[in-house]
């Protein structure tokens, strides 16, 4: 049995969950999220808790059981609290600034890089070398953070580039003098 899939999901007040046969819709103060449900998984709501169960003990059903529970729990957390990812820019002259709803990045290229925010995502730059990405969809926040990091990955010799705040970059020693 899936230990993650067995635990119920607590639904706080102000969150509305709509269950169909093939999808679940979660609405809250920050927005609305929708997820399709596989045929081998059933989702039921009992009071202020949501339970995820599987129909049979097939291999695919067992693998989807914990996944669907985690996805629905992330949807409930997203529409109530939201999610945040922080990026750090390291390098001389590298900086970021919020321009309208998008982001303008100076990353050592001959031109500034403009990155537009998808709907539901907001950027903040508390410092010129720090970017905060906020949104209510966990998958979208992570994908936007990965796309921004991809613009200038941290290089292994000097460590220059864009990295997550808690990321550790392994450094190479470079050429050795004889």
pLDDT value for 174: 83
- Read off the tokens for 164: 């997550």
pLDDT value for 140: 96
- Between CA 53 and CA 43 the distance in angstroms is 6
Q: How far apart are the first and last CA of the chain?
A: 60
- Read off the tokens for 32: 């609305």
Q: Do residues 96 and 151 make contact, with C-beta atoms less than 8 angstroms apart? A: no
Average pLDDT per 10 consecutive residues for the chain, totaling 178 residues: 84 92 92 94 92 92 93 95 96 94 94 94 96 96 97 93 93 80
Q: What is the pTM of this model?
A: 0.90
């Amino acid at each position: 049995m899936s230990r993650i899939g067995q635990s119920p999901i607590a639904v706080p007040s102000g969150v509305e969950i709509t269950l169909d046969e093939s999808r679940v819709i979660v609405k809250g103060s920050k927005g609305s999220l929708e997820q399709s449900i596989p045929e081998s998984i059933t989702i039921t709501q009992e009071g202020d808790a949501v339970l995820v169960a599987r129909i049979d003990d097939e291999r695919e059903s067992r693998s989807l059981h914990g996944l669907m529970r985690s996805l629905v729990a992330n949807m409930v957390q997203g529409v109530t609290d939201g999610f945040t990812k922080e990026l750090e820019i390291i390098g001389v002259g590298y900086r970021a600034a919020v321009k309208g709803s998008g982001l303008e990045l100076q990353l050592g290229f001959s031109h500034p890089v403009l990155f537009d925010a998808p709907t539901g995502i907001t950027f903040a730059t508390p410092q010129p070398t720090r970017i905060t990405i906020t949104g209510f969809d966990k998958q979208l926040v992570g994908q936007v953070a990965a796309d921004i990091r991809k613009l200038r990955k941290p290089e292994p010799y000097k460590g220059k580039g864009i990295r997550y705040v808690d990321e550790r970059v392994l450094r190479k020693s470079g050429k050795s003098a004889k």
